[in-house]
């Protein structure tokens, strides 16, 4: 996530980056950003500081293709983006649900000042995409339903990745996610995060290890943790994802194939 970089770039006199909320113990006002499912590791998160500060819930990945929709979100400030909903990152469209009218108008002002208004082309495109999504949901033949389709693809990819990782459990590790009832699908579903948070079981610098096999990943230190973790995108094109699986299997073979 780029929260730290953004806060430091803006150099506001009103706030500064204080790092991981789990280790934040200062008194006084604070803003806590709760990203759920989390980027990079796909886990479900809740506010942890709980001392009356402001909360921003970033639900960029709270879509049925990634995670069971366990309930209606009801927070003061909720952020969403098209980029993770349908993959239209380039349209630069997101939206927020905000309870406090004053906060909402400050946010609108910020967008106006920083972008001089959101591109009309993007707005038209986003409206069209929403229409297509909605039509798919209304027809509700499962194959037309964008989110069910997305989940199927994500589930297949995760299954393939887990197979390789499980056959090399002394080298690599992945998180497990609970199956839960999804109110959108009306059934128990699994979690298939947009990123895989891969761990080196031998505590090696895993981005380096994968890099040696021509896999570009984002190292754990970029997310405030150790280099034995990397974030891997599960959303690349089919050819890229399949190539990644091939190379991961080759990396596993050359690092000792034992369970």
Ligand X SMILES: Cc1ncc(COP(=O)(O)O)c(C=O)c1O
Rule CB under 6 A: is residue 36 a binding residue for ligand X?
A: no
In the complex, the smallest distance separating the C-beta of residue 81 from ligand X, rounded to whole angstroms, is 3
Considering only 55, 56, 60, 230, the residue that binds ligand X (CB under 6 A) is: 60
- Residues 69, 184: contact at Cβ < 8 Å? yes
In the complex, the smallest distance separating the C-beta of residue 82 from ligand X, rounded to whole angstroms, is 7
Rule CB under 6 A: is residue 73 a binding residue for ligand X?
A: no
Burial class (CB in 10 A: 0-12, 13-18, 19+), 26: exposed
Considering only 41, 58, 148, 199, the residue that binds ligand X (CB under 6 A) is: 58
Residues 92-151 that bind ligand X (CB under 6 A): 94
Burial class (CB in 10 A: 0-12, 13-18, 19+), 229: buried
Rule CB under 6 A: is residue 89 a binding residue for ligand X?
A: yes
Count of beta carbons in the 10 Å neighbourhood of residue 226: 14
Q: How many residues bind ligand X (CB under 6 A)?
A: 9
In the complex, the smallest distance separating the C-beta of residue 125 from ligand X, rounded to whole angstroms, is 14
Burial class (CB in 10 A: 0-12, 13-18, 19+), 44: middle
DSSP secondary structure, 80-137, as one string: EEHHHHTS-GGG--EEEEES-HHHHHHHHHHHHHHHSS--HHHHHHHHHHHHHHHHHH
In the complex, the smallest distance separating the C-beta of residue 74 from ligand X, rounded to whole angstroms, is 19
Per the omega criterion (within 30 degrees of 0), is the bond before 131 cis?
A: no
Considering only 34, 39, 67, 228, the residue that binds ligand X (CB under 6 A) is: 39
Considering only 65, 67, 81, 168, the residue that binds ligand X (CB under 6 A) is: 81
In the complex, the smallest distance separating the C-beta of residue 76 from ligand X, rounded to whole angstroms, is 17
Binding part of the chain for ligand X, among 62-70, 81-89, 155-163, 218-226 by CB under 6 A, reads 81-89
In the complex, the smallest distance separating the C-beta of residue 94 from ligand X, rounded to whole angstroms, is 5
Count of beta carbons in the 10 Å neighbourhood of residue 90: 10
Binding site for ligand X (CB under 6 A): 1, 35, 39, 58, 60, 81, 83, 89, 94
């Amino acid at each position: 996530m780029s929260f730290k970089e953004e806060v430091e770039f803006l150099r506001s006199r009103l706030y500064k980056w204080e790092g991981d909320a789990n280790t934040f113990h200062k008194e006084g006002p604070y803003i806590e950003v709760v990203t759920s499912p989390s980027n990079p590791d796909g886990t479900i998160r809740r506010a942890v500081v709980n001392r009356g500060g402001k909360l921003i819930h970033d639900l960029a990945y709270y879509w049925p293709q990634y995670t069971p929709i366990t309930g209606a979100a009801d927070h003061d400030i909720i952020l969403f983006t098209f980029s993770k909903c349908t993959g239209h990152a380039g349209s630069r469209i997101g939206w927020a649900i905000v309870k406090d009218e004053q906060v909402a108008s400050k946010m609108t002002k910020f967008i106006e000042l920083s972008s001089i208004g959101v591109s009309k082309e993007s707005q038209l495109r986003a409206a069209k995409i929403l229409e297509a999504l909605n039509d798919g949901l209304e027809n509700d033949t499962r194959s037309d339903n964008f989110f069910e389709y997305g989940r199927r693809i994500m589930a297949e990819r995760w299954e393939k990745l887990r197979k390789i990782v499980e056959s090399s459990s002394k080298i690599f590790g992945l998180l497990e996610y609970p199956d839960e009832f999804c109110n959108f699908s009306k059934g128990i579903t699994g979690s298939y995060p947009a990123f895989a948070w891969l761990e080196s079981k031998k505590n090696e610098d895993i981005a380096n290890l994968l890099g040696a096999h021509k896999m570009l990943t984002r190292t754990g230190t970029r997310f405030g943790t150790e280099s034995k973790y990397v974030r891997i995108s599960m959303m690349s094109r089919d050819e890229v994802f399949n190539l990644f699986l091939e190379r991961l299997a080759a990396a596993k073979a050359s690092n000792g194939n034992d369970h």
